[in-house]
Structure 1
């Protein structure tokens, strides 16, 4: 790290809750957050954080306890996050749209002292609260919330005075199946990304940022929420994404910065086509992250907005940002940009040796953004971390001569087809370039020992007519034969997380189940015993 990076670290506060305190002192009457037509100034946000901290203490929440917030984006959730930091408790943000089983698994694994539900903005949070028999209450500033019973068996974790060691948030990365992974992110992890993100977006107090990405996800928490507020800008929070609500906000609420996932932009283009254009807005910066951005969508979004769609890359374990394109160096390709200031990377082969420039390899990262580890999972942490403090991302990247990164694919998503390597992102880019395809997801399906076939799932534009045979023929002209899907499955809607990220684990299971069902049918038709 250079002197400038050291200076940035030295400027970071020790705790998240110092953000509203700082701006309440500097600009008390400026707007900090808004939701549904209601705004809080910095003075009001700071007062609400104090009210939340007092509530938590009355609820017997102690330093080192974990407190779970089941909800969707709202001002109450933001105030609770800061209040928990003020109490030295850990926030466990969970999206209310998770299933009852997922909610219960996270509650059990985290050992949460209390669970708080933002019932005022989320019917799903209200349903979970009713299932858990949580008591509803209304507070002057928070509005209505529900509070779960005290977990007497919760053991508080040690409290560290240094924000580099003290955990601020426990973020779970599981999908709908599998073992939960609670990523421990410290105050410095999150504040470092907040500071860098605000700097790279050139945020100013005059900016108004659209906050629809779930705060329960690290992208929405660190980059959008904390990054915006760190800079003293205003955050316009929205519980759920809808294209019409976004259009209304761009027209009426003075949004200047928009961050989203590629699926969000695809839905907007599909909805707005022929009905609305963003000609009279204050929008100055648009950004996509959270999942791969294909070149066709990037081009379409840039034509629609008349400005560059910036791109970046990260993961929960890196708080999340690792690289980002720069405002002063816009790119036409789908590079995820330069590594952010203050961190180091290595691109290595399977033996951990650095690969030559331009060659693909697994990405390792080291810096103030790297997690403290997985909660109660020392073996899993050891499997992910490498000697010297390096985090193995599990992603395959290549670096061009100028240092820009391109994500080739995930190590675990690599498809081995008859001995050839197939990266899903390349097949998805080809599919998405067809005018009738709204979005796609490609997975591998086991068809024999050490062999897989390529299966593609697609959502189609209902205004266009296209057959599976048309798509197969189109891909034959775009890809090598071994990369072409053995099967293309049309979906009405992809299974997706609250962020809009496609849940490929579910699709992979669906593809495998389809294969097994056909094999079983063939066995029956052939007259062989089951």
Structure 2
């Protein structure tokens, strides 16, 4: 891979110029696949042109926020790129959010227009109807809906170079309050270029675009990484294990997912007896939440390929570190920091601590966000004057520089004066042969202590109860780590990426209310 300084120096001002480069250089090369639709790079360019004309007709101006409510599809790609090309910000929102959440984000970002990808999303169609959007259709973009013009929208200043905000990604984190993360063209292209470069992504690759583009993992690592390398992106609106099998057989070379996706895929194989045919697959990677050793081992056994791992967060666009192709790991380390990214492990006193000890992970690099939109105080809480971002995650670093994520600081459970890291307890449950996935949260106890509560998802039709699972864990965990309650569930509540919604589980645990999970 090229030197980071050279990569940064050569990044164009806008994301769209990555696609334009390949439009000029290899116009007939395949750029996008969705179902039976194929777009070459020339056709992607035509779609971007069509989207740009549409946005001008809709009176979207430089510095405006264009809210895109939908799920992964080719028109969404064209609209994201066209918005950036005209200096508007793309606020990319997953249509599976509730009406209240959509309204809150729309009001917060002050969207000039809202466009809904109705062709691929029943939820987007429902939101469009509720907001009085009008149906439109264009030759390349197909059908979509357009919300009314917001005359009260004020435009933000246009920044020079690639410091302009490209995307506004909303994340609630552990607070439950949506925060708009401002990611610049440079932030996103840096991660796409460097993370993609470490995967050797290039022409001839077919990357799986099943991670939502409303999430920065799907946007930067997958979409922009593919565009930077001149690869083809196979777009999938939603994750469905049976469809994954078909898409793998059709020629996917790369699949980036979250651990919950791989867990559900493995469960599907066990339940159906289906066999995996992946003649072209060369790269598998997980990120977005802790990778469990059992999921890693079973995935690798099924595919005969290493399941790589990585770590990041929305505020870092997202990748901070990832494992390397030339240095496969048997453990669940998230690898080394990306070239160009600095990391620190910080103790309670704010000072760096030695390798091998657990502390808070801080990072600094070209992917670090511009800040939270309309929230400078919140930005100052997580980014210091020297540009260091406090990730809010506990980690340790081995002597060779490899990082291990121990857990989120806000999810840490303190029981009898001891620290309990949920990922460690989850790993024990996930090692059980009848368990698909698990999630562990803390619950305040009457004595000021915290209880450990484990939610365990088992395969359909499985005959195992909470007591048996409790005994399994008790024989493998120190007494202070053992769950005070085990709740067996048919499925764990998850967001659009498949990431487990621990806020909902923690609330259910506090209220002992499990019927609506």
Is TM (by shorter chain) over 0.5? yes
Please give the per-residue CA displacement for 1:124-163, whole angstroms capped at 9, x wherever unaligned: 1000000001010111110001000000110000001121
Output the CA distance in 1 between the equivalents of 2:492 and 2:297. 23
Q: Secondary structure at the match of 1:61?
A: coil
1:120-519 superposed matches below 5 A? 120-163=119-162, 165-174=163-172, 178-252=176-250, 254-273=251-270, 275-279=273-277, 281-448=279-446, 450-514=448-512
Output the CA distance in 2 between the equivalents of 1:204 and 1:220. 17
2:73 corresponding residue in structure 1: 74
Cα pair 1:102 1:176 within 8 Å, conserved: no
Q: Secondary structure at the match of 2:445?
A: strand
Q: Secondary structure at the match of 2:512?
A: helix
> Residue 449 of structure 1: CA displacement?
6.0
Q: Secondary structure at the match of 1:407?
A: strand
> Residue 515 of structure 1: CA displacement?
8.3
Please give the per-residue CA displacement for 1:383-404, whole angstroms capped at 9, x wherever unaligned: 1112310000000000011110
Q: Secondary structure at the match of 2:255?
A: strand
Q: Secondary structure at the match of 1:457?
A: strand
- TM-score, length of structure 1 as denominator length: 0.95
Cα pair 2:252 2:278 within 8 Å, conserved: no
Q: 1:251 to 1:3 in 2, by over 3 A?
A: closer
Output the CA distance in 2 between the equivalents of 1:387 and 1:478. 44
Output the CA distance in 1 between the equivalents of 2:462 and 2:433. 8
Output the CA distance in 1 between the equivalents of 2:482 and 2:473. 6
Q: 1:138 to 1:456 in 2, by over 3 A?
A: same
Cα pair 2:459 2:490 within 8 Å, conserved: no
Q: Secondary structure at the match of 1:39?
A: strand
> Residue 170 of structure 1: CA displacement?
0.5
Cα pair 1:114 1:148 within 8 Å, conserved: yes
Output the CA distance in 2 between the equivalents of 1:10 and 1:347. 29
Q: Secondary structure at the match of 1:488?
A: strand
Please give the per-residue CA displacement for 1:437-495, whole angstroms capped at 9, x wherever unaligned: 11000000011364110000010123542222211111112110000000001112111
> Residue 268 of structure 1: CA displacement?
1.1
CA RMSD of aligned residues (A): 1.6
Which structure 1 segments of 5+ residues have no match? 518-530
Q: 1:3 to 1:277 in 2, by over 3 A?
A: closer
Cα pair 1:298 1:309 within 8 Å, conserved: yes
Cα pair 1:213 1:220 within 8 Å, conserved: yes
Q: 1:240 to 1:516 in 2, by over 3 A?
A: closer
Output the CA distance in 2 between the equivalents of 1:462 and 1:496. 17
2:26 corresponding residue in structure 1: 27
Output the CA distance in 2 between the equivalents of 1:257 and 1:430. 29
Q: Secondary structure at the match of 1:40?
A: strand
Output the CA distance in 2 between the equivalents of 1:261 and 1:29. 32
Cα pair 1:175 1:503 within 8 Å, conserved: no
Q: 1:462 to 1:13 in 2, by over 3 A?
A: same
Please give the per-residue CA displacement for 1:20-77, whole angstroms capped at 9, x wherever unaligned: 1100000000110011111111011011111111111111111000010000000000
Moved more, 45-54 or 173-182: 173-182
> Residue 177 of structure 1: CA displacement?
7.7
How many residues in Structure 1 have an aligned counterpart in Structure 2? 514
Cα pair 2:293 2:331 within 8 Å, conserved: yes
Cα pair 2:89 2:165 within 8 Å, conserved: yes
Output the CA distance in 2 between the equivalents of 1:196 and 1:125. 33
Cα pair 2:437 2:456 within 8 Å, conserved: yes
Moved more, 317-326 or 47-56: 47-56
Q: 1:139 to 1:157 in 2, by over 3 A?
A: same
Output the CA distance in 1 between the equivalents of 2:229 and 2:108. 34
Output the CA distance in 2 between the equivalents of 1:115 and 1:44. 24
Q: Secondary structure at the match of 1:448?
A: coil
1:112 corresponding residue in structure 2: 111
Q: 1:467 to 1:515 in 2, by over 3 A?
A: closer
Output the CA distance in 2 between the equivalents of 1:182 and 1:376. 8
Output the CA distance in 1 between the equivalents of 2:173 and 2:348. 27
Output the CA distance in 1 between the equivalents of 2:142 and 2:91. 21
Cα pair 2:206 2:232 within 8 Å, conserved: yes
Cα pair 1:172 1:180 within 8 Å, conserved: yes
Q: 1:134 to 1:175 in 2, by over 3 A?
A: farther
Q: Which runs of 4+ in 1 moved over 4 A?
A: none
Output the CA distance in 2 between the equivalents of 1:491 and 1:103. 28
1:523 corresponding residue in structure 2: none
Q: 1:20 to 1:351 in 2, by over 3 A?
A: same
Output the CA distance in 1 between the equivalents of 2:282 and 2:461. 31
> Residue 516 of structure 1: CA displacement?
13
Cα pair 1:416 1:450 within 8 Å, conserved: no
